[in-house]
Structure formats: C-alpha cells, structure tokens
Structure 1
C-alpha cells in the first residue's frame, strides 16, 4: 500500500502567532525520527525558518512566478517525504489565491499528495473568519488549528475562541518561561539534536524544562500523524 505524501502549510494572516515555531517543531519531530523532510520559507526578507534548517529548506517568493514554480512543482512530488511550508503572514493571501488559480488541490489529489493546513489561532475574529473561509471554499481540505500559548495567548475564553475555528482537531503548544526561550531563539539550536544529545554545558533545569515542553508536543504530533494515516488509508476507502 502506497502512502500519501504529506504537505503542511503552517500559516496565519497575522504575524507573531507562532507560525515558525510550529513549522520548526514539525520539522524537528520528523528529523528526531530519522524522517527526511523538505522545507520552504515564504519570507524572503527575514527567513527565520530557512536559517534554522539551511540544508533542507529553500526560500521562495510566491509573489514571483519563478518562486511559485519552485514551490508548487516540488510540493506535487509524491515521494512520501513530508514537505513543510512556513507561510509568512504577508504571503497568506497570495498563497491561497495561487492555490486556487492553478488548481493545486485538485492536482494534489491526483498525485497522491495530501495538503494539510495548520492554522495558527489568535484572538481576532478575522483569523477565525479566514480559517472558516478555507474550509468553506475547500470542504475536503484538512485544516487543523494550532494554539501557541506563548506567542498568542487567548485568555480565559480560549476554549470558546478555538471552538470558533472550523477545523479538524487542534494542537496546543505550551508557553515556555522567558529564560528558556532564549535557548530556542538561537538559530543553531536544534531540537532534534537536543533530544539525541543535550549540550553538556546546559543546566539540568533548562534541559528538563525543554524536554517537558517538547515531548508532549511531539506526542500530539505523533497522534496527529496516526490520525492522518487512518484518514488516507486505502483500506478505508
């Protein structure tokens, strides 16, 4: 039985919602399991995601035809290698407009490619409306909501806010204390390498804090991956 190639669009119409953090966690999740991935960063100005994964990612400008070709032609390669697109907030509208214009989702279905949108939640009604528009426009598109508690806190109404997103499931990324965050801000700090061999000079307290943040998140991603596998199984068709 052949498996579908998963293509993740990690996105939000707004900045500072944790898009790159989610793309980074997803990438390191696969790398920690020895699964090679292809990454794409649509922020040509400050490509934070590409800086963290220079050997496996490329920078694409989707406002440029050459950038669109470089992105979408690669995403349609059904090689069972996960592909992760860090969607800059300023690229959000252009990305989905291009997806509609070129018939990407239809071609993906013919090519055994499964697009997945990981939509970052925030407190604005606009974000929820954008998420709802995606699921209304493409009812078969898999859209899940991500709540990064540190980047985009939702306050006491978090459950109600998340319920306003029309999505299939959710991923919650816990907040980290500020002294710990500075380690993660270092572009050379690899979470997958950390799991294999934590830096010897790192404090035991910091090690424990990062592990306590990272492992539950990876568990959620593993459960999510299993759910996707069941959804796309040929035996269930």
Structure 2
C-alpha cells in the first residue's frame, strides 16, 4: 500500500547551512521513488530550488499577499501528491504566519496529507529553541531535525526519531553540482561521468548520508500513526 501524500517543509532559522541542498536531495529522492513531487520555492526572486526543477516548481513571493494565497491555494486544492516547500530563513516568520492563517495543519489533514518538517538545527542554541517553537505552531506529523556536520549543531545527541545528517561539499565538487544542469538524481542512478573519479566517493558519502535519514522518515510516520490510532 503506497504511503499517503506528504507535505515536506524544509527550513531553518539560519542561512547558508545546506537547506536548499537538502531540499534538492529530497526532491530527487522522491523522484527516484516515483513519488512525483511538486515544489514551492519561497526564495523569490532568486529561485534557488527552481533553478534545478523548473518544470515542477512554483516560485512564491511571500512579501505579497497574492503570493501567499497562491501557495496555499495550490497546495490545498490539489491533493494526492507529495509537495516540497523550500523556506529561506528570511521568510520563515512570514511562512509560519501564513500557515497559521491558512490552518495548514487542519486543512492538510482533512485532505489526507501528512505534514513533515525538516529543520536544519544550527549550532546556536537559539536554533534549537526555534525548532521547538515551530513544532508547536505547525503541529506536523513529524519534525525531523537535520544536522549539518560542517556547520555544527545545538541538537543534543540521542534524540528519538529520525535525524538527517548533511556533510559539507566544498571546492571543485561544489562548483560541479551547483550547475543547474547537473542532476543529483542521475548521479545516484549511476551516471557519474560529470564528476571526476577522485570526487565521486565524497559526493556518494554526502548523498547516501542524507538519503539514509530520509528513508527512515516514512516508516517512522507510519508507526507513529498506528500508535496514535491505538490510543
């Protein structure tokens, strides 16, 4: 039986900590699993995520009321598929306010969606506090903390549930994968020709480290739903 459609919200209260790379890996992971996700990029006008998935991404300007309305109108009127929302740190407060006004938690549940937040917990302890407050506000089915090993994190060790680990990609490899024509999905599926042989192990370690964490999310949410149904 296929998993219910899920709204993934990828966010952090800090910038430059790998959030959009995480969203990009998540989209490619869902595509490989034949989940056909649609994306919302809230980084208008830059469009960091849309650059990699132009045909399946809507660029949203959260400064405009029409942009906020468009986001939730599309999201809540077209059920039955996965969605990935890439929220820049500068837009996090506006997104949370708009999500509250749209009653995202209740409306998503009514349409058969699960709600999953992937939050990059930065090294400043205030970032962990933001994650806790965000969970209280959005009431997702699951909040998954993300650790960027290069940046550091204030997340305590041994927290229950899935945790996604992200390593830093630097130098020549970063330049290669940053090109909008470079497909992480193709690399994961065995097309490695665009990456020099000496750099392939590094990229594989980063991608598989993230994907190992992502694969644990759906079973954890399903188990949590079963436990909730038994109460």
Contact 2:45 2:61 in 1 (8 A): no
CA distance in 2, matches of 1:138, 1:50: 25
Contact 1:171 1:220 in 2 (8 A): yes
CA distance in 2, matches of 1:64, 1:177: 35
CA distance in 1, matches of 2:30, 2:140: 25
Pair 1:129–1:56, CA change in 2 (3 A): same
- Unmatched 5+ residue regions in structure 2? none
CA distance in 2, matches of 1:234, 1:79: 25
Deviations 1:187-230 (A, max 9, x none): 21111011224243532222232223212321221122222233
TM-score normalised to structure 2 length: 0.87
Task: Give secondary structure in 1 for the equivalent of 2:10.
Answer: strand
Count of matched residue positions in the alignment of Structure 1 and Structure 2: 230
Pair 1:168–1:101, CA change in 2 (3 A): farther
Partner of 1:94: 94
Q: Which runs of 4+ in 1 moved over 4 A?
A: 138-141, 233-237
Is 1:192 equivalent to 2:185 in the alignment?
Answer: yes
- When structure 1 is superposed on structure 2, of 136-145 and 126-135 the one drifting more is 136-145
Pair 1:198–1:101, CA change in 2 (3 A): same
Partner of 2:37: 37
CA distance in 2, matches of 1:37, 1:138: 21
- When structure 1 is superposed on structure 2, of 193-202 and 83-92 the one drifting more is 193-202
Deviations 1:85-105 (A, max 9, x none): 000111100110111122121
- When structure 1 is superposed on structure 2, of 221-230 and 167-176 the one drifting more is 167-176
Partner of 1:9: 9
Alignment RMSD, CA only? Answer: 2.6
Is 1:229 equivalent to 2:222 in the alignment?
Answer: yes
Partner of 2:148: 148
CA distance in 1, matches of 2:161, 2:44: 30
CA distance in 2, matches of 1:233, 1:28: 28
Is 1:203 equivalent to 2:196 in the alignment?
Answer: yes
